[in-house]
């Protein structure tokens, strides 16, 4: 079972990544994370650790709230 907040986090991560113009591979390289993990996080197949979240925030140059706050119906 996928948790709604984990799904939301993954969607927000994908949106932030696409807004930045990063592929999963580029984000993974900048954040020093395996690209497979980025995909699993975006699809809510894996819950990121705190250190992974911090690395993603720094790589995307966004704040924590932008990845956890639901902002309506987002479609990309």
Q: pLDDT value at position 71?
A: 53
Does 1 score more than 80 pLDDT? no
State pTM to two decimals. Answer: 0.86
CATH class of 4-66: mainly alpha
Token digits of residue 39: 């995909």
Give the tens place of pLDDT for each residue, 57-76.
999 999 998 888 755 545 44
């Amino acid at each position: 079972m996928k948790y709604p907040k984990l799904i939301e986090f993954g969607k927000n991560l994908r949106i932030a990544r696409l807004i930045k113009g990063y592929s999963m591979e580029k984000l993974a390289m900048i954040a020093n994370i395996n690209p497979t993990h980025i995909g699993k996080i975006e699809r809510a197949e894996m819950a990121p650790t705190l250190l992974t979240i911090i690395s993603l925030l720094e790589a995307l140059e966004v704040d924590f709230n932008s990845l956890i706050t639901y902002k309506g119906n987002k479609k990309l």
